[in-house]
Amino acid sequence: MSIPVNPPSGFRDYPPEACARREFAIRAISEVYRSFGFQAIATSAVEDLAVLTGKGGGENEKLIFKILKRGEKLDEARAAGGELADLGLRFDLTLPLSRFYAKHQSLLPHPFKAFHIGPVWRAERAQKGRYREFYQCDADIIGSESPLCEVEVISAILTAFKRLGFEDVDVHLNDRGLVYAALEQAGVPEDKRGAACVALDKLDKAPRETVLAELTELAGKTAVDALQKTLMSGAENHADYEKADAARYSQLRWISQTLAQAGWSRVRVNPSLMRGLDYYTGPVFEFRHAKLSGSLGGGGRYDKLSEKFGGPAVPACGGSIGFERLLLLLEESGVAAKISGPEFCVLVFDESLREKSLALAARLRQAGKSVDLYPGTGKLKAQFKYADAKGAAVALIIGPDEAAAGAVKAKNLKTGDERMTAVEELLRSEPQSA
Ligand code: AMP
């Protein structure tokens, strides 16, 4: 049987150009997060299953890639017909952050502003923009109840989008507490409220009649009539919605107005925004772009999540950039990934001059120049082709004549100009790019 060369469905390889585009976006996002005072953290890809389950991860908990127990423990579990797995791959960055905080909080500033960029894994059906391995770029503030956290997190994410050329990102805002208050007020029984949220979440994707029918079956016509004036009232008319919980509503207004004053005018309260995860407790938000059907990112307040990890019950708020969708937008808008080539590529004339070539590369590198060295010997034509493919600005060769004269031949790969030069001159030269 031949071994497949494609990665498994939903997983991808990244050739140099794709990698360059990803690195470019990650660098821009990191720089923006840092400029807002968020500090980088990293956590392990693999977590104890106890960290990933029963913590409000909602549907995502069903998508965990589990890792089998190993050795004797696996044999014992098999014999006992018990759980065969004990570890799993993280499916988001929020649960790992909460665990991280429970462990490290005494050493961290308070409140703690963290950013966390890395891959997460979900065993879902792969399609365009939906993968089984994808990156998230999170910014979180732990330890403050202030709505300034929402303003900071949303501003940081919008600034990152802007830095990458997307100013036309809409922000939808809602509040979980306000949603539950409206459901209670409408007379939706407590045990049906979760399912009602799932049905309401479909308003953006399914016809209104379908959602109405589902809700009527769930909670009855009177409740649905009430919901039409609140959670289903559309993005503009909030008179009844506001009454469900005036304090929470006025906080949402404050967040959107404060962001508008700071120049972010595309933020609005949307009563039907649900966001899937059960761990949210207050304001929730989602970033959307006209060219994408799904969201470009999202987040919200998840107070008390750290309590589930044995830590104190601390308030927390965070947002996540859907990195893969952002990359789709970058690709579509033709942002070319520029692979920055080395300034010099040192070619190897023949085996007798190998050491001299290596010494030249080492000397230039020591002086801080970026230098590729052709890793072999062979026809110079093939070596020039290599230098070109690597995007080098200048090819350097020490042939017998140059070696005898203690000099170097430099060929500008853009203009084709060739000249003999001294190493000292190369060291003094201004950096050149291809
Ligand atoms: P969530 O943790 O489910 O709230 O997702 C946060 C962001 O990650 C979403 O806004 C999506 O843009 C992105 N996302 C979620 N699932 C996937 C996936 N399977 N592939 C790529 N991006 C995803």
Q: Look up the CATH number of the domain holding residue 262.
A: 3.30.930.10
**Within-domain flag for 360:** yes
| pLDDT: which is higher, 117 or 235 | 117
Cα of 298 from ligand 1 centre, angstroms:
9
Structure tokens that stand for 127 in this block: 């399609």
In 3D space, the residue among 135, 106, 101 whose CA is nearest the CA of residue 317 turns out to be 101
Q: Report the atom number in ligand 1 closest to the C-alpha of 132.
A: 19
**How much is the average pLDDT of 1-21?**
92
* Together in a domain, 161 and 38: yes
Q: Sorting pLDDT into bands at 50, 70 and 90, what band is 340?
A: confident
pLDDT higher than threshold 80 for residue 339: no
* Together in a domain, 283 and 386: no
Cα dihedral 122, 126, 130, 136 in deg (nearest 10) = 30
* Together in a domain, 316 and 359: no
pLDDT higher than threshold 70 for residue 434: no
Q: In sequence order, which residues have a C-beta less than 8 Å from that of residue 229 and are 6 or more positions away?
A: 240, 241
The amino acid present at 300, given as its one-letter code, is G
* Together in a domain, 228 and 368: no
> Best-predicted range by mean pLDDT among 219-223, 307-311, 370-374?
370-374
* Together in a domain, 164 and 87: yes
Q: How many domains does the chain have?
A: 2
Q: Report the atom number in ligand 1 closest to the C-alpha of 130.
A: 20
* Together in a domain, 186 and 208: yes
Helix (H) or strand (E) holding 140: strand 133-142
**How much is the average pLDDT of 190-199?**
87
**Within-domain flag for 2:** no
Task: Give yes or no for residue 289 CB within 6 A of ligand 1.
Answer: no
Please identify, among 332, 364, 387, the residue that sits at the C-terminal boundary of a domain: 332
Q: Is 22 exposed, middle or buried, given 0-12, 13-18 or 19+ CB atoms closer than 10 A?
A: middle
**Within-domain flag for 9:** no
pLDDT at 205 (0 to 100): 79
The 3-state DSSP class for residue 224 equals: helix
* Together in a domain, 313 and 374: no
Q: Sorting pLDDT into bands at 50, 70 and 90, what band is 395?
A: very high
Phi and psi (nearest 5°) for 50? -65, -25
* Together in a domain, 174 and 46: yes
pLDDT tens profile 278-332: 788 999 999 999 988 889 999 999 988 878 888 778 999 999 999 999 999 988 8
Cα of 322 from ligand 1 centre, angstroms:
5
* Together in a domain, 73 and 214: yes
- What does the alpha-carbon distance between residue 47 and residue 91 come to, in Å, rounded to a whole number? 10
Structure tokens that stand for 175 in this block: 């509040």
Please identify, among 278, 311, 332, the residue that sits at the C-terminal boundary of a domain: 332
**Within-domain flag for 422:** yes
Alpha helices, DSSP H, located in 282-350: 323-332
Look up the pTM and report it. Answer: 0.90
Strands of the sheet with 394-397, listed across from one edge = 371-373, 344-347, 394-397, 408-412, 418-421
**Within-domain flag for 433:** no
* Together in a domain, 249 and 363: no
pLDDT higher than threshold 90 for residue 73: yes
* Together in a domain, 326 and 348: no
Domain around 122: 16-332
pLDDT at 416 (0 to 100): 95
Please identify, among 311, 332, 353, the residue that sits at the C-terminal boundary of a domain: 332
**How much is the average pLDDT of 227-247?**
88
Report CA torsion sign: 170, 26, 6, 10.
negative
* Together in a domain, 236 and 355: no
pLDDT at 336 (0 to 100): 63
Q: Report the atom number in ligand 1 closest to the C-alpha of 296.
A: 12
pLDDT at 310 (0 to 100): 81
Q: Whose CA is nearest to atom 21 of ligand 1?
A: 130
What CATH number has the domain bearing residue 373? 3.40.50.800
Helix (H) or strand (E) holding 25: helix 16-35
pLDDT at 430 (0 to 100): 80
**How much is the average pLDDT of 11-19?**
93
Q: Whose CA is nearest to atom 18 of ligand 1?
A: 130
